[in-house]
Amino acid sequence: MSTTDTGKTTEPDAAGELGAAGSQLSTAPVETAMPGSFGGSRTPGAIGWITWTGREIVGWARWFWRQLTSMRVALILLFLLSLGAIPGSLIPQSGTDAQKVADFKDRHSLLGPVYDKLGLFHVYSSVWFSAIYILLFVSLIGCIVPRTWQFVGQLRGRPPGAPKRLTRLPAYATWRTESAPEEVREAALKVLKQRRFRAHLDGDAVAAEKGYLRETGNLLFHIALVVMLVAFAWGQLFKSEGNKLIVEGGGFSNTLLQYDDFKSGNLFSNDDLTPFSFDLKNFTGTYERTGPNKGTPRTYQAEVTYSEGAYGKPRKKTIKVNEPLEIGDSKVYLVSHGYAPVVTVRDGKGEVVFHQPVPLLPLDANVTSQGAIKVMDGYRNAQGRSEQLGFSAFFVPTFAGAGKGTMFSQFPALDFPVLAVSGFHGSLGVDSGLPQNVYQLDTSKMKQFKDAKGAILKARLLPGETMKLPDGAGSITFDKDVKEWAGFQVTQQPGSDWALVGAFVAIFGLAGSLFIQRRRVWVRATPGTDGVTVVEMAGLGRSESAKLPEELGDLAALVHEQAPSAPEPGPDTPGSDQDTPDPHAVSAAEGAEKQ
Amino acid sequence: MTLATATNEHLAHISNVLIYSSMAVYTLAFFAHIAEWLFGSRSKVARTAQALTAKGEQGAGAATAPAVTVQTAGGTAVLERPKVVTRSAAGARDVPDGPGAHGGDEQGDLYGRIAVSLTVVAWAVEAAGVLARALSVERAPWGNMYEFNITFSTVAVGVYLALLALKKNVRWMGLFLVTTVLLDLGLAVTVLYTASDQLVPALHSYWLYIHVSTAILCGAIFYVGAVSTLLYLFKDSYENKLAGGGKPGRFATSVLERLPASASLDKFSYRVNAAVFPLWTFTIIAGAIWAGDAWGRYWGWDPKETWAFITWVAYACYLHARATAGWKGRKAAYIALIAFACWLFNYYGVNIFVSGKHSYAGV
Ligand code: HEM
């Protein structure tokens, strides 16, 4: 944009020679001068000091504001933003993987606390990262507002008049014609207007400009960025996100109490939850059977029936990994799955005290799973005393490891399910008031069942098999039924529509800003010395514009049709001064397309 | 439980053969380009030095007068169409574009043309290989790094050939491009090779087609921009040295004399980078929409997302720098290279060194 900025010390020529004609071809902020003393001279006495200080403060404030909203500082802040985003991609983040953060802290006793202090485990919500983008957006708004006014001013005004010497412009054409100057100007005005230039007569020349959409696009783009940020912030404040594990046949209704865990933004209130409910009918997972990627999941889908509101009509829907269920503001995603073997526990008298599917947590890609079976109440031991039972459960859908101490799964589908259990009795510790992990046993107040020889009692059960507990304590059966469970995430992200709108406006604005050129064209027609009219046309655009000379050529051809060349009088071409270019110098020229 | 569609082993095999064949043809193109450059070095025109020193001799007044060019406009039937005279901005260096790799040497030019023809052939074979791969897995060929690599180089060469077809002055780029394509393919078939296979459920989405195809296209165009930015820096130093009265080495002279003028290279890389930036913006947004469907959040600062964002901000920096006094030219070029390095890191580095949600199917 070399010749288009005003007031740039690096390019005195632009301002000096083209004057107003070259000004404001964009609305980029003008670089500001270095601060000096803003207070000026100081009259003696307290009043003098106060007014001087006032001027000084206002001056500095203004200077600071100008700096903040200058292109240079915007550039530096953008740079800082990209630098600042890097650590978060290399250091584990508590937001995405709290376990990794804990591991990291364990391994690095020195770095851990330092990182903690610097907020490096939650970079994107850290003070310094927020400071960068908040400053950037203050700068952005401080930049948009004046630019918008300036642009409105430009729209309401008229394209600036022709500079004195059109020959100095990046693209130039001239010829002599017998048409009168007024006729030429009229013709040029018509041509330019037809080509959708904003054109007007100004003295002996027509001044025209086109490509205002560039600035519009640029402003729209920057405004869209602000909209996106606000939408994002709004979403953060009002969002909610909860997880729920449901076994086939189970259901869920959207209230806080039903969630396994729940997170929400600072301004979220429980009334904001969309009322709906759904039941999980069936979960299906398929896996690659052959080849090097054997075992890789191919499809996951959950068939549900859901109803909106408290008494909505039940409807069917299949939720897949990429296809959440959308109800109002809420979306229900399928995020995980696993197995829930159905287990029956009987007491010494053979009475069923526990019969239900037990969801187990997968440990690896082949769904080797682990969990706990907790019999809270209803159980009496052989002596008739009330006790609690706990079993640690280990499950594989496709058994491997026969004859070995450990077993593992070699395929994620239910080909050869085996459930390994070992039991405890005593108190599960659930009454202590502390929240308990449902997948883990607290065995501190329990005794492990031992067999007759005093070894730990454990068994690998096939579906239908039963393990007897010693001394008539009852039994545990792995029923011939393994259900699947699905983990759902229910999110509410208000503001995401606005973010989406902002994003698309940003793209269109950007395209306008980058693909449209703003350019000016002047056509001057003056009577020459020999009574023939001299027509001069010149164009000015940004240096990157390759099309300018081409366009000027087209326009010149159109004007030329209406005002054709007069026969050449001789070597002394009127209208040529020492500036007339030497047409033989073939060389690189700014704005010229080279092929 | 439905069984996943079995992959078509036969087609996958054909694809491999095609990829290897294209590598062979690219190698021939590589040698033809080398021949072009070798023959080109016979010509000893030092236009740059001439242009720069001739100006110095004209004295102070003339030195600031920029050169001009006459455009023979349009070539349409309009008779006596007025001629348009263009001139560069004051203060800009006026250096003619180099003649290209062949340096004006006829034999060099012949080899250059052969190289381009071979590149077209190699590209067609490679594209067929990518297509066969896609057919063998019955999906878009970008489920893993191997597929991504072969698709990427196909698209990069496609962009180059398209620019050539549009009569843009890009033939000088041939050798650099073919060399890197060979490296890329070599890496693909040795280190990154993955047998053809289906996708994990998270990749089953039409956003995959939109997001990944635009990402690959952006990368290929960014790459073309980066090559020309890098050469701009070399050429600019060379011109600076000459303008300052220095004498660059013989090798530098021989190579750089043949490239376009630094101003042209700079402009070309700006246009290229500016043209893809909106598309890159779209790519990220498409990715966010897809993430919203697949993972329940639009943006989660996953490493891949983070680096896409960093790349985006870096290119925004570059565009800003070009509009900021004191940052145009070399400084902006450095930013463009950093931005491309970010893109590369996102493509290779994040997949290999950082684990995140975007790691699928064996790298
Ligand atoms: C959130 C941070 C920002 C981003 C991502 C951003 C991005 C961009 C992009 C991509 C362009 C290129 C479009 C073009 O060249 O026409 C651009 C242009 C521009 N930006 Fe920003 N911008 C940001 C903040 C700012 C700020 C704070 C200012 C004010 C100082 C600003 C002023 C401008 C101006 C004046 C242009 C037009 C330059 C020209 O005429 O080429 N931007 N911006």
ipTM rounded to 2 decimals = 0.84
pLDDT at residue B202 in the model: 58
Min Cα separation B205/chain A (Å): 6
Cα B269 from Cα B260, distance rounded (Å)? 12
Which of A219-228, A446-455, A468-477, A565-574 is least confident?
A565-574
Going by C-alpha positions, the residue among B297, B194, B244 that lies closest to residue B93 is B244
Cα B49 from Cα B57, distance rounded (Å)? 12
Which of A83-92, B98-107, B344-353 has maximum average pLDDT? A83-92
Which of A477-486, A585-594, B139-148, B238-247 is least confident?
A585-594
Contact A322 B309 (CB under 8 A): no
* Residue matched to tokens 């000379």: A549
pLDDT at residue B91 in the model: 53
- How sure is the predictor about B79, in pLDDT bands with cuts at 50, 70 and 90? very low
Cα B204 from Cα B140, distance rounded (Å)? 11
* Residue matched to tokens 């393990």: A467
Q: What DSSP assignment string belongs to A186-252?
A: HHHHHHHHHTT-EEEEETTEEEEEE-HHHHHHHHHHHHHHHHHHHHHHHHHHH-EEEEEEEETT-EE
End-to-end CA gap in chain B: 28
Q: Is the per-residue pLDDT at B55 higher than 60?
A: no
Q: Choose between B48 and A200: higher pLDDT.
A: A200
Q: Roughly what angle, to the nearest 10 degrees, separates helices B262-295 and B206-243? A: 160
Residue B92 domain flag: no
End-to-end CA gap in chain A: 22
A557 to chain B, any CB pair closer than 8 A? The answer is: yes
pLDDT at residue A328 in the model: 82
pLDDT at residue A583 in the model: 39
- Geometric angle at alpha carbon A247, from A244 and A253, rounded to 5°: 45
Cα B171 from Cα B259, distance rounded (Å)? 10
- How sure is the predictor about A261, in pLDDT bands with cuts at 50, 70 and 90? confident
Which of A56-70, A332-346, A572-586 has maximum average pLDDT? A332-346
Contact B73 A170 (CB under 8 A): no
Give the helix ranges, DSSP H, for B196-261: 206-243, 250-256
Asked if residues B151 and B119 have their Cβ atoms less than 8 Å apart, the reply is no
B310 to chain A, any CB pair closer than 8 A? The answer is: yes
Determine the residue type at A326. Answer: E
A292 to chain B, any CB pair closer than 8 A? The answer is: yes
Average pLDDT over residues A271-288: 88
Q: Is the per-residue pLDDT at B126 higher than 90?
A: yes
pLDDT at residue A588 in the model: 34
Q: Is the per-residue pLDDT at A2 higher than 70?
A: no
Average pLDDT over residues A256-263: 86
Going by C-alpha positions, the residue among A400, A394, A411 that lies closest to residue A360 is A394
Asked if residues B55 and A148 have their Cβ atoms less than 8 Å apart, the reply is no
Q: How far is the CA of B321 from the centre of ligand 1 (A)?
A: 9
Partners of A386 in the beta sheet?
A380
Mean pLDDT, chain A, integer: 83
Read off the pLDDT of residues B312-342 as tens digits, 9 standing for 90 and up.
Answer: 999 999 999 988 877 888 999 999 999 999 9
pLDDT at residue A573 in the model: 44
| Residue B291 structural domain | 138-361
The DSSP element (H or E) to which A399 belongs, if any, is strand A399-400
Phi-psi region of B98 (alpha: psi -120 to 50; beta: other; left: phi over 0): beta
Average pLDDT over residues A152-170: 87
Contact residues on chain A for B274, CB-CB shorter than 8 A? 514, 544
Residue B340 domain flag: yes
pLDDT at residue B192 in the model: 77
Read off the pLDDT of residues B260-269 as tens digits, 9 standing for 90 and up.
Answer: 888 889 889 9
pTM over 0.90: no
Residue B98 domain flag: no
Q: Is the per-residue pLDDT at B18 higher than 80?
A: yes
Read off the pLDDT of residues A547-570 as tens digits, 9 standing for 90 and up.
Answer: 788 888 889 888 888 888 877 655
Residue B211 domain flag: yes
Residue B130 domain flag: no
pLDDT at residue A591 in the model: 36
- How sure is the predictor about A4, in pLDDT bands with cuts at 50, 70 and 90? very low
pLDDT at residue B63 in the model: 32
Disruptive mutation site among B235, B284, B324 for chain A (greatest number of A CBs within 10 Å): B324
Which of A1-15, A204-218, A286-300, A334-348 is least confident?
A1-15
Residue B292 domain flag: yes
Contact residues on chain A for B90, CB-CB shorter than 8 A? 3, 11, 13-14, 17
- Geometric angle at alpha carbon B112, from B109 and B117, rounded to 5°: 130
Q: pLDDT > 90: what percent of chain A? A: 30
Task: Supply the DSSP symbol for A361.
Answer: E
Q: Name which of B2, B285, B301 is nearest A503 (Cβ-Cβ).
A: B285
Q: pLDDT > 70: what percent of chain A? A: 88
Residue B339 domain flag: yes
Residue count of chain A, please give it.
595
Q: What DSSP assignment string belongs to A409-446?
A: ES-SSSSB-EEEEEEEEE--SGGGSS---TTS--GGGE
Number of structural domains in chain B: 1
B2 to chain A, any CB pair closer than 8 A? The answer is: yes
- How sure is the predictor about A401, in pLDDT bands with cuts at 50, 70 and 90? confident
Residue B230 domain flag: yes
Q: Which of residues 231-270 of B touch A (CB under 8 A)?
A: 260-261, 263-264, 267, 270
* Alpha-carbon torsion (A330, A333, A338, A341), positive or negative: positive
